[in-house]
Structure 1
Amino acid sequence: MSAPSAADAITGLVLAGGAGRRMGGRDKGLIELAGRPLTAWALDGLRPQVEALLISANRELDAYRAWGVPVVTDAEPDFPGPLAGVLAGLQAAETGWLLSLPCDAPAVPPDLAPRLHAAVMAEDAELAVARSAGWLHPLHALWSTALAGELAAGLAAGQRKVTDWQNTRRRVIVDFDQQPEAFENVNTPEQLAAYAARRDAAQGS
């Protein structure tokens, strides 16, 4: 099978550039689950599905670069939010599409990229967003890299809410109702501990 053209190829972006406020200010992407940083889980889940990888980070840059993946940073200071990380990825990607993934969702659906890509192609959309059990997951999304200019304008105008900006685009929603566990976020130390406990119990059963 031949490689996809640049227009159809996908770059995976792990979003690890937040302030980690609910983790006590710790750099969330470097927090460990089962002895491995959350970013490592995300990279491993994306790698088989995409042609290139990027990491969005704003602290501990050398630690992130140690994975051998290009690291992009927000153009604005003080953690303006995930849309800024997505914009940095859109601007850096050399492919037609960018697949974003938050670093705190360690279980990546193995068919995330192909299903989102099939949906944007079928619907002539600019953006595909995953949904599971009725909940949208706006950062589990496939973005046309042609959106970079308009997203930059939105951020310059003060836009910060991911879903609000996505609602202005030609968007398609893709249901992953058979994989609700793949979208579970670990935003707090308590959620991380509970997730790790369930994972250990499942492996021991």
Structure 2
Amino acid sequence: MDFFPDVTLAVVAGGQGRRLSGVPKGLLKLGDRTVLERLLELSPLFAEVLLVANTPEPYARFGLRTVADVVEGKGAPGGVHAAMAGAKTAWVLAVACDMPFVMPEVVRVLLEARSPEVDAVCFTVEGRVEPLLAVYRSTLAGPWGGALQQGDPSLRELLSQCRPQLLPEEALRAVDPEMNSRVNVNTPEDLLRYGLSLP
């Protein structure tokens, strides 16, 4: 089993799932386990697990170190920024809390693509960057914080301002042929499609 002592696993819980009756999406269930519990199965790979949640109370029973957004009201970019700012390691793997099928093999591909010349590693699927299953250098917290205070950049815009290593779709398919690792659950239709239930 690999271990990456310079990486924090950051689960970005963000806001409430408005299209899912306002439930905390990390508590959606697949069988008898929550999505967050499934993501925490990755934790042996990492130095620490960090939960980014502006409303941490629903997740209290997991006993995770929790941080809130530093720059409020910025959605996913604010969540990833909070993870970088809160991490004690050089790198952060940011994963959305509503991704039930993230595979260790996929995580390993991202982490092994890091290099001194790179600030972030992401997959591209159908020409679009996947910023919420990606690895970021924690030192990006400074410049990204400044950009978030000045405007509303998307994660893709923020990535374009650093040195990203964009992995092709084939790199994901090689270890996850169905590409289930990138699935996130946002709507009642998604619950049905992937067999999840409300907490």
Indicate the TM-score class for this superposition, using the shorter chain for normalisation: 0.7 to 0.9
Report the equivalent of 2:135.
Answer: 142
1:124 has 2:124 as partner: no
Of residues 163-172 and 16-25 in structure 1, the stretch that sits farther from structure 2 once superposed is 16-25
Question: Which gives a bigger RCO, structure 1 or 2 (Cα 8 Å, sep 6+)?
Answer: 2
Q: CA deviation at 1:158?
A: 1.2
Other structure's SS at 1:89 match:
helix
Q: CA deviation at 1:147?
A: 0.6
Report the equivalent of 2:86.
Answer: 92
Q: CA deviation at 1:132?
A: 4.3
1:13 has 2:10 as partner: yes
Q: What amino acid is aligned across from residue 47 of structure 1 in structure 2?
A: S
Alpha-carbon spacing, 1:4–1:129, altered in 2? closer, same or farther (3 Å): closer
Other structure's SS at 1:16 match:
strand
Q: What are the ranges of 5 or more consecutive residues in structure 1 without an aligned counterpart?
A: 198-205
Q: Tell me how far apart the structure 1 counterparts of residues 111 and 190 of structure 2 sit (CA, whole Å).
A: 31
Q: Tell me how far apart the structure 1 counterparts of residues 102 and 76 of structure 2 sit (CA, whole Å).
A: 18
Report the equivalent of 1:200.
Answer: none
Verify the 8 A CA contact 2:4 2:46 in the aligned structure 1. no
1:195 has 2:194 as partner: yes
Alpha-carbon spacing, 1:43–1:152, altered in 2? closer, same or farther (3 Å): same
Q: Give the TM-score normalised by structure 1.
A: 0.83
Deviations 1:83-133 (A, max 9, x none): 111111111111100000011111112123332222221x71000012346
Q: How many residues matched?
A: 190
Alpha-carbon spacing, 1:194–1:103, altered in 2? closer, same or farther (3 Å): same
Report the equivalent of 2:96.
Answer: 102
Q: What are the ranges of 5 or more consecutive residues in structure 2 without an aligned counterpart?
A: none
Q: CA deviation at 1:16?
A: 0.7
Identity of aligned pairs, percent?
31
Q: CA deviation at 1:17?
A: 1.2
Verify the 8 A CA contact 2:123 2:134 in the aligned structure 1. yes
Verify the 8 A CA contact 1:50 1:113 in the aligned structure 2. no
Deviations 1:20-69 (A, max 9, x none): 2222322212222223222222222x21321110011122x233232121
Q: CA deviation at 1:135?
A: 4.5
Coordinate RMSD, CA, aligned:
2.3
Verify the 8 A CA contact 2:4 2:45 in the aligned structure 1. no
Verify the 8 A CA contact 1:65 1:71 in the aligned structure 2. no
Q: Give the TM-score normalised by structure 2.
A: 0.85
Q: Tell me how far apart the structure 1 counterparts of residues 57 and 21 of structure 2 sit (CA, whole Å).
A: 21
Q: Tell me how far apart the structure 2 counterparts of residues 41 and 4 of structure 1 sit (CA, whole Å).
A: 19
Q: Tell me how far apart the structure 2 counterparts of residues 80 and 112 of structure 1 sit (CA, whole Å).
A: 27
Alignment of 1:1-205 (within 5 A): 9-44=6-41, 46-59=42-55, 61-77=56-72, 79-121=73-115, 124-132=117-125, 135-174=128-167, 175-178=171-174, 179=176, 180-196=179-195
- More strand, by proportion: 2
